[in-house]
Amino acid sequence: MADKIKETAKQELNNLQHAATEGVKSGAYVYPFRGILFFLTHKSLWKPLLKKLTPTLGLGLGVTSFMFFFTYLPQLAICFFTSGPLAAFTTILLVLSESSTLTMVLSKALLIEDSLIDTFDGTLIARGQAALVERQRQVKANKAGDAIARLGKLAGKPFAKFTPTAIIRYFMYLPLNLIPVVGTVMFVLLQGKKYGPAAHARYFNLKGMTKSQVADWTSERAGAYTGFGIPATLLETVPIAGIFFAFTNTCGAALWAADLEAGNTTSAKLKAQADKATEATR
């Protein structure tokens, strides 16, 4: 059994390393950083963030307090054997990182989903992709360059109702952080692998793709999505600033989608395949 577990872990690590290498080649890793710059230079995109800032910060404070009260000492005891005299410091960083990640999972599920959709759609409109957004919601006439003000009513709820899968997966991966260096790297890779496709869920929705089409598309481009997901995950684990990066990552994902629509990336074939998938559903 032990050998089987080791072999499975080794195979998963090799798969993740291959996906990360392909992600670097795809160039998708730049979009989280492009999202930061684009977000900062387009003030109209700040509105959804500012609207949800107070309740999300309150949630973050509650989660962080809970994590320190219930998990700091147990993790300190474990880190003492792996980090020695630095255990207290490394445990604080670990708990802060865990709290930030858990806050993002909960806030996306409970508080900011609609705001992130507005940010994604607003970014597409700012990049001249209003026609794509109009497939799923009303888009008003030009409002003096304010992309968010142009957003009208959604045609329907874009995503399925919240399920605890993300939180369960998070807690399954959490013990990896107790393994110095290697465990943290694996944790980030696994989270990034899941993050990438999720970041384009709205794009898939706007394209009218079915679940099977999305699964085929993302599995064939796991490297690109992992390449996007790794830096995006790292940004969202930054304590306090994580909520800001959740919105800039969404902006970056929308910029990637806009480039796919315009055929401005090395993965331009994605657009053609997405269009073909859309036609197949009609």
Q: Tell me the pLDDT tens digit for each residue of 41-69.
A: 999 999 999 999 999 999 999 999 999 99
What average pLDDT is seen over the chain?
Answer: 82
pLDDT score at 8: 65
16 assigned to some structural domain: no
Question: Would you say the C-alpha torsion 200, 201, 207, 212 has a positive or negative sign?
Answer: positive
The first and second tokens of residue 33, run together, are: 């950083």
pLDDT score at 267: 47
Q: What is the pLDDT of residues 63-94, one digit of tens each?
A: 999 999 998 888 888 878 777 777 888 888 88
154 assigned to some structural domain: yes
pTM above 0.75, yes or no: yes
Instruction: Return d(Cα 282, Cα 279) in angstroms, integer.
Output: 5
Q: How many domains does one find in the chain?
A: 1
Bridge partners, residue 154, by sequence: 137
79 assigned to some structural domain: no
**Could you list the residue range(s) of the whole structural domain that residue 47 is in?**
26-51+113-277
145 assigned to some structural domain: yes
56 assigned to some structural domain: no
Q: What is the pLDDT of residues 263-274, one digit of tens each?
A: 865 444 544 544
Instruction: Return d(Cα 79, Cα 86) in angstroms, integer.
Output: 9
232 assigned to some structural domain: yes
**Least confident span in 25-29, 180-184, 245-249:** 180-184
Stated length of the chain: 282
**Percent of the chain residues past pLDDT 90, beyond the cut:** 41
pLDDT score at 160: 47
96 assigned to some structural domain: no
Do 158 and 121 contact (CB within 8 A), yes or no?
A: no
66 assigned to some structural domain: no
